[in-house]
């Protein structure tokens, strides 16, 4: 019996081997091999890069019909149908494009096929398929290690995200290679550019330090957005969507196509509105995008102008946990401990536990306009050498308005007022805090590619000039103060220069070496007084060297292995400097040492990838509970902290009509020797607690995403989408009393498209979010204090919407 089993097993192995076939070929252009050309089998996970002689090979293909696609920058993409096993050798003869198309504009800051870093590419088609009004973070949330959150609870308005537990102001974001992060705060607010997703060609997310780029240092990831490139044919589109919470999205876009073989003009106009899930958390968002280009065989000159204006009602405070838990005694304590006024406490008690918003003043809004001007020039000197130069100017101006109760007049540089025999030293008032900034600069890159060598030198220079000031626009008692009384003003001036060189060398047929060296210099000064009337004048200077090294190995055509090490240095942001105690220890720059080890396997029906990472931080800035001289929390450098984990990705073609995509991240995120400081209201001092090794806040140990995609008939797609985020601590103490519970979400998306005599395409969309009505919170904040010898907390959690829907229609002319 044992021999029979072995014999049957060997027979099955022979049958399986006979059922697998190899397909070879070569990619040429202008009669020469095109090493590095991309060759993929459409509707599968299988893709390879051509070797130094232009050859490629696919292994272990099953019998059947396939469609191969070959592409290379500067050449027209070609598709060839093949039949296995009849066809075994294929020749692609790519034709040079008659004009440059602009893809090289972002090549200097992008990871390529053999770059040894962890990255994910998202196509414009994928983004468009998910874009029904939610902000960009929600369109990217199915990528590995990604967690999105929304202040208003439904993905419209102020949104945020973390990658590998790293917050957004530590993630580098660029648009066409131009920095999008605010130079002072390092943050990125996609709400400032509503519906930018409708003008995106593709997105690349590099996790970890990634490759050198322009702008803020990457301490968790790099996000590179590329706007639309050349569209040769004229087009017009109207897209509309509507759904829960009175959410509406309307987008109109059109393009001339190529005029006289050289000129194009594209334009988009968008409007998104929503009442939000949280009470009064409305959003009114408008934007436009205009792009004009000149294209020739070797030159591209392109101008982009895009702008957004957002008005959102503030929902930044969150819902106190006592309100979420219907804890009446805890809510009353907010009044007893002077955290809320009696009126605010009663409003909280009478509110809905999941949609409560502290703010009730009708114009408690944030309003900001940001205008972008980009000019790009690209020239190809030869098939292997091209130059890219871009200039940009970003203008931003806006405010957020606040109703303040019972504020001291001297805190606003207002004199006391005498009314009869009474002296008035406090008042209710309305203030506006303004940000008025200019950000401009240049980026450049020179790329050289020939057979075994791929070399890029690039960099950028930019200047940020930002004014911060505040006005009192109304007060119950204002005396002789002038209208729009200014009570504080300060200026931030920051100059940033960087120069990098990247070299990828094919040492052997299956082995590539990678080196990336960057020098970055920052000069930053602040001059003036802050809103608490402290003088915050200061100057800082930094010189950083950021080396990155790696190796990429392909043991077979469908397997790859890489190992890399990267260093990143990051200067403290504005708030770390402004909030620091003048008499205390000052913040210093942070350093990250990032190790990445990855493996990937691809076949026609299966893909699998695993990436191990170890991110070791020196002097990471975190909140410890320490306060400055006026009682405000400050960021403090901790000596040692780290993130380590594994990212898994898989894709399975179950049948031609059914496939499954999934990813998961498992990690540990720790601070060594953490010390917590807690305000003691009894002594007006702080209590110190040495907690040893603790978890880094907002760093879940498990994150997972799944998509089951079913296409029963052509152009009809069903996608069942699931996301899991594990428990998160909301401070760095590892306390279960200050944490976010794990949550598991399930969404259903349905898409159907067809053609009519009037429209080139009509696409219908349905998105059912959180279909099982999960109650969960995705973000929070907390403040701890001691009173009467007992420890209490004031906090704010951000509940997300339960079951809600969006439907949309796209009309393409």
Q: pLDDT by residue (tens digit) across 438-491?
A: 999 999 999 998 888 999 999 999 999 999 999 999 999 988 888 899 999 999
Tens-place pLDDT, residues 552-575:
999 988 899 999 999 999 999 999
pLDDT at residue 19, rounded to an integer: 52
Q: What is the mean pLDDT of residues 56-61?
A: 85
CA distance 359 to 315: 8
Q: Are 281 and 315 in contact (CB under 8 A)?
A: yes
Regarding predicted confidence, which is higher, 261 or 1?
261
Specify the pairing of strand 200-207 against strand 118-123: antiparallel
| CB burial string 460-475: b at 16+ within 10 A, e below | bbbebebebbbbbbeb
Q: What is the mean pLDDT of residues 500-522?
A: 95
Task: Kindly tell me if the per-residue pLDDT of 8 is higher than 50.
Answer: no
Q: How many CA atoms lie within 13 A of 173 on its CB side?
A: 20
Task: Kindly tell me if the per-residue pLDDT of 582 is higher than 90.
Answer: no
CA distance 67 to 50: 17
CA distance 463 to 532: 27
pLDDT at residue 557, rounded to an integer: 85
Cα–Cα nearest to 780, from 795, 802, 760, 764: 795
Task: Kindly tell me if the per-residue pLDDT of 86 is higher than 90.
Answer: no
Task: Kindly tell me if the per-residue pLDDT of 630 is higher than 90.
Answer: no
pLDDT at residue 108, rounded to an integer: 82
| Residue 425, Ramachandran bin (φ over 0: left; ψ between -120 and 50: alpha; else beta) | alpha
* Most confident range, picked from 61-75, 345-359, 618-632: 345-359
Contacts of 713 (CB under 8 A, 6+ apart): none
pLDDT at residue 353, rounded to an integer: 96
Task: Kindly tell me if the per-residue pLDDT of 13 is higher than 80.
Answer: no
Q: Are 242 and 248 in contact (CB under 8 A)?
A: yes
Task: Kindly tell me if the per-residue pLDDT of 141 is higher than 90.
Answer: yes
pLDDT at residue 483, rounded to an integer: 86
Task: Kindly tell me if the per-residue pLDDT of 667 is higher than 60.
Answer: yes
- CB neighbours of residue 593 within 10 Å: 15
Tens-place pLDDT, residues 693-706:
999 999 999 999 99
pLDDT at residue 370, rounded to an integer: 98
Task: Report CA-CA distances (Å) from 286 to 81, 135, 194, 211.
Answer: 45, 13, 6, 33
pLDDT at residue 65, rounded to an integer: 85
Tens-place pLDDT, residues 102-124:
677 778 889 988 999 999 999 99
Task: Kindly tell me if the per-residue pLDDT of 804 is higher than 60.
Answer: yes
Task: Kindly tell me if the per-residue pLDDT of 132 is higher than 50.
Answer: yes
CA distance 55 to 78: 16
Tens-place pLDDT, residues 285-326:
999 999 999 999 889 999 999 999 999 999 999 999 999 999
Q: How many CA atoms lie within 13 A of 645 on its CB side?
A: 25
pLDDT at residue 32, rounded to an integer: 85
* Strand (E) or helix (H) holding 565: strand 559-570
Tokens, residue 274: 């929503």
Specify the pairing of strand 159-163 against strand 171-175: unpaired
Tens-place pLDDT, residues 144-160:
999 999 999 999 999 99
Q: Are 730 and 738 in contact (CB under 8 A)?
A: yes
Q: Are 252 and 237 in contact (CB under 8 A)?
A: yes
CA distance 644 to 638: 17
pLDDT at residue 700, rounded to an integer: 98
Cα–Cα nearest to 550, from 581, 499, 594, 518: 594
pLDDT at residue 23, rounded to an integer: 87
Task: Kindly tell me if the per-residue pLDDT of 499 is higher than 60.
Answer: yes
Average pLDDT, the chain: 93
> Could you give phi then psi for residue 579, rounded to 5 degrees?
-85, -15
In the block, tokens 């590539």 appear at 512
Q: How large is the greatest C-alpha to C-alpha distance in the chain, in angstroms?
A: 110
pLDDT at residue 10, rounded to an integer: 42
Task: Report CA-CA distances (Å) from 188 to 145, 185, 462, 601, 691.
Answer: 19, 9, 17, 35, 33
pLDDT above 70 covers what percent of the chain? 97
pLDDT at residue 613, rounded to an integer: 98
Tokens, residue 345: 């406490």
Tens-place pLDDT, residues 255-278:
999 999 899 999 999 999 999 999
* 3-class secondary-structure state, position 391: strand
> Could you give phi then psi for residue 342, rounded to 5 degrees?
-55, -40
CA distance 264 to 637: 51
Output the pTM of the full model: 0.92
Q: What is the mean pLDDT of residues 18-22?
A: 66
């Amino acid at each position: 019996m044992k021999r029979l089993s072995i014999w049957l097993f060997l027979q099955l192995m022979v049958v399986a081997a006979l059922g697998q076939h190899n397909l070879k070929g070569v990619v040429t252009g202008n009669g020469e091999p095109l090493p590095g050309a991309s060759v993929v089998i459409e509707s599968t996970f299988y893709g390879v890069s051509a070797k130094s002689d232009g050859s490629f090979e696919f292994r272990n293909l099953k019998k059947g019909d396939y469609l191969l696609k070959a592409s290379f920058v500067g050449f027209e993409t070609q598709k060839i149908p093949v039949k296995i096993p009849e066809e075994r050798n294929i020749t692609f003869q790519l034709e040079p494009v008659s004009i440059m198309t602009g893809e090289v504009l972002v090549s200097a800051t992008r990871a390529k096929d053999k770059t040894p870093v962890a990255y994910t590419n998202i196509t414009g088609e994928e983004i468009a398929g998910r874009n029904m009004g939610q902000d960009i973070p929600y369109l990217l949330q199915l990528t590995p290690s990604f967690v999105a959150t929304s202040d208003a609870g439904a993905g419209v308005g102020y949104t945020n995200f973390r990658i590998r537990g790293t917050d957004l102001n530590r993630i580098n974001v660029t648009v066409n290679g131009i920095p999008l992060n605010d130079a002072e705060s390092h943050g990125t607010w996609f709400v400032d550019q509503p519906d930018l997703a409708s003008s995106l060609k593709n997105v690349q997310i590099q996790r970890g330090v990634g490759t050198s780029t322009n702008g803020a240092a990457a301490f968790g990831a790099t996000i590179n957005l590329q706007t639309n490139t050349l569209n040769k044919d004229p087009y017009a589109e109207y897209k509309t969507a509507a759904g829960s919470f009175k959410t509406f999205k309307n987008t109109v876009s059109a393009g001339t196509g190529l005029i006289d073989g050289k000129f194009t003009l594209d334009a988009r106009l968008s409007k998104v509105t929503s009442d939000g899930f949280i009470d009064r958390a409305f959003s009114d968002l408008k934007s436009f995008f205009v792009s004009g280009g000149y294209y020739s065989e070797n030159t591209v000159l392109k101008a982009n102008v895009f702008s957004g204006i957002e008005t959102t009602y503030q929902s930044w405070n969150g819902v106190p946990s006592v309100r979420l838990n219907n804890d009446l005694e805890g809510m009353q304590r907010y009044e007893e401990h002077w955290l809320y006024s009696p009126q605010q406490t009663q409003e909280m008690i009478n509110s809905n536990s999941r949609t409560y918003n502290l703010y009730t003043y009708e114009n408690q809004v944030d309003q900001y306009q940001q205008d972008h001007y980009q000019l790009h020039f690209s020239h190809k000197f030869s098939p292997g050498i091209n130059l890219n130069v871009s200039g940009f100017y970003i203008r931003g101006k806006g405010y957020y308005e606040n109703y303040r109760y019972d504020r001291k007049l001297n805190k606003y540089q207002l004199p006391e007022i005498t009314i009869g025999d009474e002296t008035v030293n406090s008042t209710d008032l309305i203030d506006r805090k303004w940000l008025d900034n200019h950000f401009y600069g240049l980026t450049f890159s020179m790329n050289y590619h020939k057979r075994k060598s791929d070399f890029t030198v690039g960099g950028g220079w930019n200047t940020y000039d930002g004014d911060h000031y505040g006005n009192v626009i109304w007060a119950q008692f204002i005396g002789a103060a002038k209208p729009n009384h200014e009570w504080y003003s300060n200026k931030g001036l920051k100059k940033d220069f960087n120069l990098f060189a990247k070299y990828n060398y094919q040492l052997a047929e299956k082995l590539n070496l990678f080196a990336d060296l960057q020098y970055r210099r920052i000069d930053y000064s602040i001059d003036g007084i802050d809103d608490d009337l402290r003088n915050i004048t200061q100057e800082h200077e930094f010189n950083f060297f950021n080396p990155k090294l790696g190796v990429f190995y392909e043991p077979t055509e469908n397997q790859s292995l890489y190992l890399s090490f990267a260093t990143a240095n990051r200067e403290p942001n504005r708030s770390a400097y402004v909030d620091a105690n003048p008499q205390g220890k000052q913040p210093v720059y942070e350093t990250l040492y990032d190790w990445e080890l990855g493996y990937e396997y691809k076949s026609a029906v299966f893909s699998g990838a695993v990436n191990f990472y170890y991110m070791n931080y020196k002097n990471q800035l975190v909140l410890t509970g320490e306060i400055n001289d006026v009682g405000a929390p400050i960021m403090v450098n901790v000596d040692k902290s780290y993130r380590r984990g594994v990212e898994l990705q898989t894709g399975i073609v179950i049948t031609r009509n059914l496939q499954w995509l999934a990813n998961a991240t498992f990690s540990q995120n720790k601070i060594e020797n953490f010390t917590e400081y807690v305000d003691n209201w009894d002594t007006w001092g702080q209590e110190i607690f040495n907690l040893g090794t603790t978890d880094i806040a907002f760093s879940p140990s498990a994150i997972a995403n799944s998509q089951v995609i079913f296409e029963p008939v052509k152009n009809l797609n069903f996608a069942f989408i699931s996301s899991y985020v594990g428990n998160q601590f909301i401070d760095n103490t590892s306390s279960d009393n200050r944490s976010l519970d794990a949550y598991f979400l399930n969404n259903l998306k349905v898409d159907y498209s067809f053609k009519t005599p009037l429209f080139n395409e009509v696409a219908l969309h349905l998105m059912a979010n959180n279909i099982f009505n999960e109650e969960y919170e995705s973000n929070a904040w907390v403040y701890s204090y001691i009173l009467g010898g007992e420890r209490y907390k004031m906090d704010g959690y951000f509940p997300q919407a339960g079951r809600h829907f969006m439907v949309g229609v796209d009309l393409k002319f």
